[in-house]
């Protein structure tokens, strides 16, 4: 991408922070710097490579996601954040040309083992997409869809309860309780995205993946979602891709910086934004590219 040129040009600047192991040029065998691994890991990824046909989108990424943490993925667009996130619930399976190598485990269980049913996996790892995508059905039907297909509610009363609880957790209940049977697509953009979050948490997943969940929303709606993420982090493990560094700084505990398909640095969020270990990270957060 366009980053390659500025990166090499900036090379002389590196004298300000001379760190021996680091180089602004990416080499093939570059290790990720920072704290990639966690003791209480929910998900572990080791040497993950993702290819689209013969084009490699993710290079040798190893990282842990700890229980109940919010981890933010940042990086220039096209660096593979979405690809990486989608390999965590095997959404990449739906792309014919996509191939995932390496090991991705949740609670020690290999997600790509042939024994694992992807339907079960997606019930355990929920996903919220960039553009709010409620089903063109009622608000109620949207939230009830997951519990219905997974058979989580035995009675109508159970289902009503799940729907209400999920909408409450997504802090949408008060706004929609009077019109549960109106179309979900009739809500505002921010409400739609919270509806999508409610839909995702209705099946009580363990991990929630969010791919730029606020990029289509206005600042006020964004703020509400960010609040929500903070609340949700008490019960769920959350991995969020964002193009907004402020958002990463506000909501996440750890931040992972991706660059051209490589995981450059993972560190506690505060550290990433104050004392990045890697010069590429620094270059990115100081706005030299991205």
Partner 1 sequence: MTKKPMTDSSNHLDKIKKSLSRRNRAEKRFRWYGRMAVFVGLAAVMVLFTDIISKGHGAFRITYVELQVTYDQDMIGVENLTDPAQLALGDWEALSKAALRNEFGDVSGRRDKRKLYGLISSGAGYDLKDRLLANPLLLGETENVWILADDDIDTYYKSWLDGEPYAARMSAKQIQWIDELHAQGKIRLQFNSNLFTRGDSREPEQAGIRGAVMGSLLVLILTLMLSFPIGVSAAIYLEEFAPRNRWTDFIEVNINNLAAVPSIIFGLLGLAIFINFFHVPRSVPIVGGLVLTLMTLPTIIITSRAAIKSVPPSIREAAMGMGASKSQVVLHHVLPLSLPGMLTGAIIGMAQALGESAPLLMIGMVAFIVDIPAGFSDPATVLPVQIFLWADSPERAFIEKTSAAIMVLLSFLIVMNTVAVWLRKRLERRW
Ligand X SMILES: Nc1ncnc2c1ncn2[C@@H]1O[C@H](COP(=O)(O)OP(=O)(O)O)[C@@H](O)[C@H]1O
The residue ranges that bind partner 1 (CB under 8 A) are 89, 91, 94, 96, 118-123, 126-127, 129, 131, 133-136, 145-146, 149-150, 185, 196, 199-200, 203
Tokens (6 digits) for 268:
């506690």
Helix axes 189-201, 156-169, angle to 10 degrees: 130
57 binds, among partner 1, ligand X, Mg ion, none (CB under 5 to 8 A by kind): ligand X
- How many Å apart are CA 218 and CA 216, to the nearest integer? 7
Applying CB under 6 A, what is the total number of residues that bind ligand X?
12
- Residue 130 beta carbon to Mg ion: minimum distance, rounded to whole angstroms: 7
From 3, 22, 30, 82, residue interacting with Mg ion (rule: CB under 5 A): 82
Considering only residues 213 through 242, tell me which ones interact with Mg ion, judged by CB under 5 A.
none
- Residue 95 beta carbon to ligand X: minimum distance, rounded to whole angstroms: 5
Asked whether position 213 contacts ligand X by CB under 6 A, the answer is no
Asked whether position 134 contacts ligand X by CB under 6 A, the answer is no
Q: Give Cα separations from 176 to 41, 184, 220, 267, 289 (angstroms).
A: 36, 10, 18, 39, 41
- Residue 69 beta carbon to partner 1: minimum distance, rounded to whole angstroms: 21
262 binds, among ligand X, Mg ion, partner 1, none (CB under 5 to 8 A by kind): none
- How many Å apart are CA 245 and CA 72, to the nearest integer? 9
- Residue 279 beta carbon to ligand X: minimum distance, rounded to whole angstroms: 20
- Residue 56 beta carbon to Mg ion: minimum distance, rounded to whole angstroms: 17
Residue 271 pairs with which residues in a beta bridge?
none
Asked whether position 83 contacts ligand X by CB under 6 A, the answer is yes
Tokens (6 digits) for 191:
């409400």
- How many Å apart are CA 4 and CA 289, to the nearest integer? 10
> Which residue, among 271, 211, 261, has the nearest Cα to 3 in the 3D structure?
261
CB 9 within 8 A of CB 24: no
Interacting residue ranges for ligand X, rule: CB under 6 A: 52, 57, 75, 77-83, 95, 97
């Amino acid at each position: 991408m366009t980053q390659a040129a500025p990166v090499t040009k900036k090379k002389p600047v590196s004298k300000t922070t001379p760190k021996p192991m680091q180089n602004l040029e990416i080499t093939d065998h570059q290790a990720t710097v920072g704290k990639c691994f966690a003791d209480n890991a929910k998900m572990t990824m080791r040497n993950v490579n993702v290819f689209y046909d013969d084009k490699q989108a993710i290079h040798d990424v190893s990282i842990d996601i700890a229980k109940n943490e919010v981890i933010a993925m940042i990086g220039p667009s096209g660096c593979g954040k979405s690809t990486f996130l989608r390999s965590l619930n095997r959404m990449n399976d739906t792309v014919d040309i996509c191939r995932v190598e390496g090991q991705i485990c949740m609670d020690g269980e290999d997600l790509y083992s042939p024994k694992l049913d992807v339907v079960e996996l997606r019930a355990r790892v929920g996903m919220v997409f960039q553009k709010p995508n409620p089903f063109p059905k009622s608000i109620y039907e949207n939230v009830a869809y997951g519990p219905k297909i997974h058979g989580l509610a035995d009675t109508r009363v159970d289902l009503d309860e799940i729907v209400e609880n999920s909408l409450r957790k997504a802090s949408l209940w008060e706004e929609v309780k009077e019109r549960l049977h109106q179309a979900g697509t009739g809500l505002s953009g921010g409400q739609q995205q919270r509806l999508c979050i409610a839909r995702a948490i209705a099946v009580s997943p363990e991990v929630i993946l969010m791919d730029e969940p606020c990029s289509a929303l206005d600042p006020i709606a964004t703020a509400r979602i960010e609040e929500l993420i903070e609340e949700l982090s008490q019960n769920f493990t959350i991995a969020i891709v964002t193009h907004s560094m402020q958002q990463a700084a506000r909501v996440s505990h750890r931040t992972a910086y991706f660059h051209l398909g490589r995981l450059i640095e993972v560190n506690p969020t505060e550290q990433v934004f104050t004392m990045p270990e890697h010069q590429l990270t620094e270059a990115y957060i100081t706005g030299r590219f991205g």
